[in-house]
Amino acid sequence: MGPGQPSELQWEQALVRVLRDPERIALYRQPIVDLRRGVTAGFELLARFADPEVDAPPFEWFRQAYAFGLGPRLEAAVVRQALRLRDELPPNTFLTVNLDPAAVAHPDAAEVLLVETRLDRVVIEITETSPLGDVGELGRVAKELRERGAFIAVDDTGTGYAGLERLLAVRPQFVKVDRAFVEGVDQDGAKRALLELVGHFASRLDAWVVAEGIERVEELAELIRLGVPLGQGFLLNRPAPEFRPLPREIGELIRRVAERRRLGLVAEALLEAAEAVREGELPPGRIAVVVDGWGRPLRVWDGERDGAAMKISPSTAVAQAARRAMLRPYGERFLPLTVVDDAGRLLGIVRVERMVEVLASEAAA
């Protein structure tokens, strides 16, 4: 035990206090957002625990509970609190509650769920915090829950073989993609390919993909371009102790990007931030744009060579931009294009290789 860390006795006493008084469990709501319509589709409930002696993150509470043989009881207490919130749900939304595979079929948790005759608008999200256990029993309980109207979600898809086993065992209606595969997806072709594969697999299961951990506008735009239907993350809204509406500006942004995707792919969907520098300041090994005193692009530097800045607007069709790029002198064809606003000021860049990748993907679709 490290300095300041609770002792085993303190943990055991804290767990007993929480189980005796479920009001010590606070449920924070993180929205799950429709990435086509720009509206909240549901809320994931995230447990927080209040105790006078133990201050620890939620995952540590669950870890300690399982170490003391109290894991399913603690999970059941969270589920019981969650089900009480159904009447407070905003219209046309669902709520998601997490369950460890070890708890799904355990009598403590199963009793709380299966005593309910109706579980519509409830999503049971099966996590991957403990070994999978009896796959057949997991599938049987998932079937019973669906018969009562519940939906099943599988968390952390793509992070291991056990995750694939869970997918096949429970045949979920929601497939959640871990933050590790969402972070930087706008700059990583392998991650985009994985998301496309997950999307194809989910469609075979008649399931929806949920991208977790969206924190940047560029990630959001790329997910919309890829056709990922649902997402959550700090960019969209942070967990809160009440059901909060989606910020208006986020909803408008999603609808605007989704509409551009529907009408045709444009440069703004592939826009990346770019470093603006002055003449003589070219940084070795990374992309930069030389600008004048008004922020207007003059030249583009890809870390090794430079050339005249080719300027396009955010609404320029990607196919048109690619054609223009190929008309440049041979040595400059694969330099990034600069995207400018109505005053000609630099907004960012679009890489030629990204345009080629997207156009090839569109042609194969």
User: Which residue ranges in the chain fall short of pLDDT 70?
Assistant: 1-4, 128-134, 156-165, 262-264, 364-365
CA atoms within 13 A on the CB side of 300: 23
Does residue 2 sit within a domain? no
Where helices occur in 84-157 by DSSP H, the ranges are 101-104, 107-114, 135-147
Q: How many domains does the chain have?
A: 2
pLDDT at 3: 54
pLDDT at 131: 59
pLDDT tens digits along 25-40: 999 999 999 998 999 9
Q: What is the CATH number of the domain that holds 31?
A: 3.20.20.450
pLDDT at 161: 46
Last residue of a domain, one of 262, 281, 304: 262
User: Does 200 lie in the same domain as 53?
Assistant: yes
Burial of residue 353 (number of CB atoms within 10 Å: 0-12, 13-18, 19+):
exposed
Does residue 346 sit within a domain? yes
* Neighbour tally for 184: CB within 10 Å: 14
Both tokens assigned to 11 = 């943990």
pTM: 0.74
pLDDT at 290: 95
pLDDT at 175: 92
**Which domain does 307 fall in, by range?**
269-364
The three-state secondary structure class of 217 is helix
User: Does 182 lie in the same domain as 67?
Assistant: yes
